[in-house]
Amino acid sequence: MPVSRKGKAGTSAESPGRTGLTSPSDPGSSNLIGLRVAVTRPAADDGEDPLMVALRDSGALPRHLPLTRILPPRDPESLRRAVARVTDYDWLILTSPRAVKAVAVAMIQNGQTPESVAGRVRVAAVGPATAGALDALRLSPDLTPDRFVAEGLVEAFRIRGIEEEAQILLLRAEEGRAVLPAFLEGAGARIDVVAAYRTVADQDVAKRMAEMVVAREFDALTFTAGSAVRSFAEAWGDRGPLPAGIRIVALGPATARELEGCGFPVDRIASPHTIEALASAVVPRDDLDVNRS
């Protein structure tokens, strides 16, 4: 069942879809000491990337190679205007901590305060990281799904129900998938999809990573978004399969589908779809078998 955090009236996780690909989230089952791991997430806005920290704390040797960069949306004024009238909506849906940060910046530009918004619009977060960012902004979410991707929100809203012609503001990456908007529109809601930020490929980094993979400088590659997969695939070109022994670990099934669509078989999908579980998922399958015996 989805987590309803405030119980108000009204109304990124996907199921992997293939047995044996999910991984346990218990870090105690991992043996990551000395494993060389590529982290392909964009650079963190503040401080060190949490996946880098989690891997290093587990004994791995992570290397940060951000295959994408986060930029402001092409139309920042639309974002500012949408946030200015956010209390006209029935629901505000945010799909990442970066979207929450974009809301915070827009609120400052508009002269809004969290107190002027809290309680006047219901808020949904795609997962715990987004929910935590909202809590820090003092806009605690009313709804967080059990599965931390768009399909999880679809399921949560299907269970909770959506009022006919509910007004919904969805703030997400410019290149976000159509899964959630399509469901909400089909349910009779009126939805405004506004870009909070955009993701662009960094081909210089992608080419460097491809050369490192060819040189077998990694034991595992981690991917958290389809945009990073596409960036790497373009740099990898027509080299064919990865060198034997290099595992690929995905944050969620959407990223896994992108990887396999580009010809990169996925060894494991993090479950749940969190950074902590992704770090645990890097553990070699043989080590998991030993630790479970």
| Residue in 290, 229, 289, 216 with CA at minimum distance from that of residue 262 | 229
The token pair at 32 is 């990551």
DSSP 43: P
Residues of the chain with CATH 3.40.50.10090: 22-67+202-292, 71-199
Walking along the chain (293 residues) 10 residues at a time, the average pLDDT comes out as: 41 32 44 93 86 94 97 96 98 94 96 95 93 94 86 91 93 90 94 96 98 98 96 97 96 95 96 92 61 32
| Residue in 271, 232, 291, 256 with CA at minimum distance from that of residue 32 | 291
Q: Omega into 272 within 30° of 0, i.e. cis?
A: yes
> How far is the C-alpha of 196 from the C-alpha of 75, rounded, in Å?
9
Q: What pLDDT, on a 0 to 100 scale, did the predictor assign at position 6?
A: 43
Beta bridge partners of 62: 37
What residues contact residue 259 under an 8 Å CB cut-off, 6+ apart?
Answer: 223, 229, 248, 250, 265, 266
How many CB atoms are closer than 10 A to CB 175?
A: 14
| Residue in 210, 256, 230, 243 with CA at minimum distance from that of residue 65 | 210
Q: What pLDDT, on a 0 to 100 scale, did the predictor assign at position 177?
A: 84
3-state secondary structure of 242: coil
Q: What pLDDT, on a 0 to 100 scale, did the predictor assign at position 2?
A: 52
Kindly report the CATH number that applies to the domain delimited by 71-199.
3.40.50.10090
| Residue in 63, 31, 84 with CA at minimum distance from that of residue 192 | 84
CATH classification (class only), 22-67+202-292: alpha beta
